Amino acid sequence: MVRRFGLDYDNGGDWLPISLPGTVAKVFKKVDMKIILAAPRGFCAGVEMAIESLRMAIDAFPPPIYVYHEIVHNKFVVEHFESEGVIFLEDLSTIPRGATLLFSAHGVSPEIRQQAKARDLRAIDATCPLVTKVHLEAIRYAKQGRTIVLIGHDGHDEVIGTMGEAPEAILLVETPEDVDRLQVAEPGNLAYLTQTTLSVDDANRVISRLRDRFPEIQGPPKDDICYATQNRQEAVRILADEADFVLVIGSQNSSNSQRLTDIGRECQTPSKLIDGVGDIQDSWFEDVKTVLITAGASAPESLVQDVCRYLEKTFGAVIDERSIRTEEVTFPLPRELRGTGAKL
């Protein structure tokens, strides 16, 4: 039995109070869908620093501003800056001498830094400090004469930059099966590093196989997978079981967004990665009562809110924000921008 002027119900739905004109009492409206809005989600400290660095460069230096690689892996962020005249490129040979160049959050190899110097470019380094940490570890292990096994995705901007620090010393693997195929000259003189945006579970499986095959392998003193990647993955693992569907907001070339989608599926919950509200298909939500929404570390919060508003309007959804942990990490601006007077 349902009490329409109370909170009891027995029809499997929730009821929300709404006021009727000219009445004092409240009736309760059936909620068609619930959104579990995961937190933390969206921008991490490294992405915020990189985006703010580009904004400041636009204000401080003559146009156009060039960026090597996409500033972050998000379609809407890149398109926004392109509309402001920013030029994203993969080859420095077309940049006029003396122009301003910003290195993206994913980092670059020493070869690219040298090319920028040779062209007398004003280089601004917006590499995430957690990526820089991996670069420094690669340099340290290479100086020790170790062969470095880098766990990451072939062709990813971050992996390309890290491998460029010691190209003769680094071997790339993605899966435990890749580890099984490894051939190394000195099995007792190895070290491993990881891309910062991997699935924690996937990385641990590869590391476990490495340790099984090469018991003396050395690893970094602290986990390379970034705090934000781990936190967003943890939130999906905890909350996905409560949902009938998972929506991850992020671009297809965003490694950490792809991993969030994978984790939702591993939890046996149908999951989709979308750039924004325009990608939604209403047919996904047939018989769906609860949707978990999260966002990759390079996805703006405005895209999340657009999706929430669409589900509210279309399916009568209500939002339940669930915070798994609090993030208070910030990173300093690149030194090349610290004298401009702006603050992050």
Token match 């099995």: residue? 187
Q: What is d(CA 108, CA 131) in angstroms, rounded to the nearest whole number? A: 10
Q: What is d(CA 169, CA 138) in angstroms, rounded to the nearest whole number? A: 9
Nearest by Cα to 51 from 83, 27, 74: 74
CA-based angle 179:182:186, to the nearest 5?
A: 120
> Residues 158, 177, 312, 328: which is the catalytic one?
158
Identify whether 158 is a catalytic site residue.
yes
CA-based angle 10:14:15, to the nearest 5?
A: 100
DSSP one-letter code for 187: T
What is the set of active-site residues?
A: 158
